[in-house]
Amino acid sequence: MQEIIQILKQGKDKLKEGGINTFSLDAELIMSHVIHESRERILARLVCDISDTDIEKYLNLIDKRVCGCPLQYITNHQEFMSLDFYVDARVLIPRPDTEILVENVINHCKNKKNVVLLDMCTGSGCIAVTLAYYIENIRIIAVDISKEALDVAKHNAKCNNVTDKITFIQSDLFENLDKKDIKSFDIIVSNPPYIESGEIPILSKEVKDFEPKIALDGGDLGLDFYRLISKQSIEYLKDNGKLFYEIGYNQGNNVKNILLDNGFDNINIIRDLAGKDRVVVSVYN
């Protein structure tokens, strides 16, 4: 057995040398993950010793982080809207930007009963699970093309005790939805792939080399999925149903025009805290 504080210092030094800006925090969180003790207890030196097996595991994970593997994939943890989500390389890591989308859907659903909602491109399930958790009277269908992503989403639904509110469907967009779902949704929400194909090579190493490309690539202009979902959602929304999108910071007007071309109106572009376009809400009549 060796002292944790010494091994922790080794981890911090390795990460710092590897150019990881958050080297101290990352080293502590990886240690917490390996020995199953809270970061607070480790820093307070309430846990002092670490086994040789855990040292080897810890230093291997430190090496993975130096190579650019996102911390969230190492610890299999990401917080989203105060809920805990399991994540790994099968799914995109939930971002704070997406909380703006979810908050707007929650606000819209206040005082509404028996909401029926479709989450298109569910990924980790962070949108569907969070909405199911915070909205009492809601039924959700969550769709993704990736079976692997759906396995993660189902796990997150189970861990957050909302499996009874969500039906998961593997489908290429609307392809495998049941005919009974036509004109059945009060809301369709989507955070689709929206990065321009040509921009992916210049993304950070953590994103371009480790997160699933299928969850990032939105085509030449990043708009492919907005075109497809906007066109196909018409068949599935109730009259006056709402479509909520997360968008890229420079896509507001382009997505608005796509929606107008497909018969949507009352289009509202919502900005994030940095003043950049982040969410588009529209109504189909």
pLDDT tops 80 at residue 1: no
- Average pLDDT rounded to a whole number, residues 228-247: 98
For range 5-13, the mean pLDDT: 96
Average pLDDT of 226-247?
98
CATH superfamily of the 81-284 domain: Vaccinia Virus protein VP39 (3.40.50.150)
Whether residue 230 contacts residue 264, with contact meaning beta carbons closer than 8 Å, is answered with: yes
| Residue 172 confidence (pLDDT) | 98
Rounded Cα distance between 126 and 135, Å, is: 14
Interval 227-249 mean pLDDT: 98
- The strand pair at 83-85 and 115-120 is best described as unpaired
Q: Is 227 in contact with 220 (CB distance < 8 Å)?
A: no
Count of residues in the chain: 285
pLDDT digits (tens, 9 = 90+) for 252-279: 999 999 999 999 999 999 999 899 999 9
- Looking at residue 46, its pLDDT comes to 82
pLDDT-derived band at 47 (thresholds 50, 70, 90) equals confident
In this prediction, residue 285 carries a pLDDT of: 85
Mean pLDDT computed over 129-149: 98
At 216, the pLDDT band (50, 70, 90 cuts) reads very high
**For position 2, what pLDDT does the model report?**
85
CA–CA distances in Å: residue 172 to residues 104, 121, 144, 153: 26, 9, 7, 16
Sequence-distant (6+) residues with CB within 8 A of 96 are none
> Which of 242, 240, 247 shows the shortest CA–CA distance to 218?
247
Provide the percentage of residues in the chain whose pLDDT is more than 70: 100
The answer to whether the beta carbons of residues 120 and 149 sit under 8 Å apart is: no
Query: What is the CA angle 251-193-90, rounded to 5?
Result: 155
CATH number belonging to the domain at 2-67, selected among 1.10.287, 3.30.1360, 1.10.8, 3.30.70? 1.10.8
Enter the DSSP assignment of 199: G
Q: How far is CA 75 from CA 24, 29, 79, 85, 86, in A?
A: 15, 8, 12, 11, 9
pTM score of the predicted model? 0.95
Q: Over the stretch 60-73, which tens digit does the pLDDT of each residue have?
A: 999 999 999 999 99
pLDDT digits (tens, 9 = 90+) for 217-227: 999 999 999 99
Residue 48 has pLDDT above 80, yes or no: yes
Q: Which residues of 101-123 are buried (b: 16+ CB within 10 A; e: fewer)?
A: bbebbbebbeeeeebebbbbbbb
pLDDT (tens digit, 9 = 90+) per residue, 72-116? 999 999 999 999 999 999 999 999 999 999 999 999 999 899 999
Which comes out higher in pLDDT, residue 13 or 285?
A: 13
Q: Indicate the domain borders of the chain.
A: 2-67, 81-284
Please state, in angstroms and rounded to a whole number, the distance separating the CA atoms of residues 91 and 193.
12
